[in-house]
Copies of this chain bind each other. A is one copy, B any other.
Amino acid sequence: MKPKGFVRRTRQREVILEVLRGTKGHPTADWVYQEVRKTMPHVSLGTIYRNLKTLSEHGEIQELAFGSTHSRFDANKEVHYHFVCEQCGLIEDLDMPILEGLEEEVAQRGYRVVSHRLEFYGLCPDCAADEEAVSQAN
């Protein structure tokens, strides 16, 4: 017997995954939509949303919300941390080691921990440089 929620391979779904895997950014649903339309002009935004949801439910991608109103998606399935630039909006993966033992620490408080997220906020290198230039000018 086939599993109930069997996920079918469709052309749309493949293109969406390709697009996500082909970017280092952390795109929004709408960005993905625009990209997919370059290949499939008739794709609908509803399909994008449904597939992004399905893919993240099946662990193929990660759905992330960084403070703002809309979600961002990441094809990087590994646990990793992010930096968010409050000036230009850039979101980057940080190449720092996963903190071991943290989840155990929380588990000792009675929680069953499945995952964790760590994000840093501030200015990215470029924006930090710009700001220094401005403050020197004054």
Contact = CB atoms under 8 A, between A and B. Distances in A.
A46 B13 CA distance: 39
A90 to B, nearest CB: 10
Given A65-B68, A68-B65, A94-B106, A119 B122 contact: no
Given A63-B67, A65-B68, A68-B65, A116 B119 contact: yes
A125 interface: yes
Interface string A113-130: 111111111111101100
B96 A120 contact: no
Nearest to A110: B125
Interface residues of A, number: 38
Contacts of A105: 96
Interface in A97-120: 99, 102-103, 105-106, 109-120
A69 interface: yes
Contacts of A118: 102, 116-119
Interface of A: 63-69, 71, 83, 86, 94-96, 99, 102-103, 105-106, 109-125, 127-128, 131
